[in-house]
Amino acid sequence: MTTPLPRGLPLDRVSFDEQAAGVFDARAGFPAGVAEQIADTVVRYAGVDAGDLIVEIGAGTGLIGAWLARPPARYLGLDASQPMLSGFATRLPEGGHARLVHADADQPWPVADGTARVVFGSRVFQLLDPEHLVREANRVARPDRAVLVQGRLERHPDSPKVLLRRALHERLRAHGLTPRPAGRLLQRLLERAAEAGGTLLPPVTAASWPHEVKPGDVLDEWRQKYSMGGVTPPAEVSAAILDELAEWVADRFGEPAGPVWTEESFVLEGVQLQPPKERDE
């Protein structure tokens, strides 16, 4: 089911402030048990010990952060949206050492030098300036050991969303437009962190779960956006492409297209940051 949008704005022009925490959670929430599993994997992946500081950038409503913020870890969740953080505050665990800070991650972070064991971001780093992010991550990284970890959704190659995106890219190219390959921005961040002296870690799959997709809902969501595949075509081109995709959906999945079961996973990718003391030698 597509979630109604505030004030009828196109989906990609609705800020996180305007979405409100409940709307975001309905669109982007995880099945029961998955967020906890992701948080546990982040802790293991980054080698977080009791009392270590976890910094989460773009913590949002705390879907994962609420599990990272459990004692004995110390946790600082930073987000540019106060409404998202207000949603997070309602699920903060009792008795922990957690702070939520309203701040723009593209500005200097309110985190002391050399204090964080891990800098984590889920579904957010593609929105940020990679140069600044790597600089700040290295600044706040503990000199003895620290890791930058990004978490992202990965869809099964047969998922209707993956197939539809491929069909979209073909049609954009046919209209002379150059779509942006999925994941390119996140890849650039990892490369930037490695160029700054970090060591890439092997990715891990933190969780996988069955997921039901209605292909028509994917198209309905795209109809509510200005941009598609990383470009913003003229309105008449978007409309023509979406009509072509609707025909493609009917051919491929039947008319009306019923729900399709597929699999989604949450993947962690990380960089062992370069300790500043070694960097300065």
Ligand X SMILES: C[S@@+](CC[C@H](N)C(=O)[O-])C[C@H]1O[C@@H](n2cnc3c(N)ncnc32)[C@H](O)[C@@H]1O
Of the pair 21, 53, the CB lying nearest ligand X is at: 21
- Least distance to ligand X from the beta carbon of 88, Å? 9
- Whose CB is nearest to ligand X? 60
Q: How far is the CB of 103 from ligand X (least distance, A)?
A: 7
Q: How far apart are CA 211 and CA 156, in angstroms?
A: 10
Shortest separation between residue 215's beta carbon and ligand X, angstroms: 23
- Contact 179/164 with Cβ under 8 angstroms? no
Beta carbon nearer to ligand X, 124 or 245? 124
CB 229 within 8 A of CB 168: yes
- Binding residues for ligand X, rule: CB under 6 A, are 16, 28, 58-60, 63-64, 78-81, 84, 104-106, 122-124, 127-128
178 vs 201: CA distance, rounded Å: 31
* 6 neighbors 20 (Cβ within 8 angstroms): yes
CB-nearer residue toward ligand X: 81 or 138: 81
Nearer Cβ to ligand X (128/267): 128
Question: What are the residue ranges of helices labelled H in 69-209?
Answer: 82-89, 130-140, 160-174, 184-195
Q: Which is nearer to ligand X, 84 or 111 (CB)?
A: 84
Q: Is 20 left (phi over 0), alpha (psi -120 to 50) or beta?
A: left
Helix, strand or coil, per DSSP, at residue 117: strand
Nearer to ligand X, 81 or 238 (CB): 81
Residue 47 to residues 2, 39, 62, 170, 254: CA-CA distances in angstroms?
Answer: 38, 12, 21, 42, 48
- Amino acid residing at 54: I
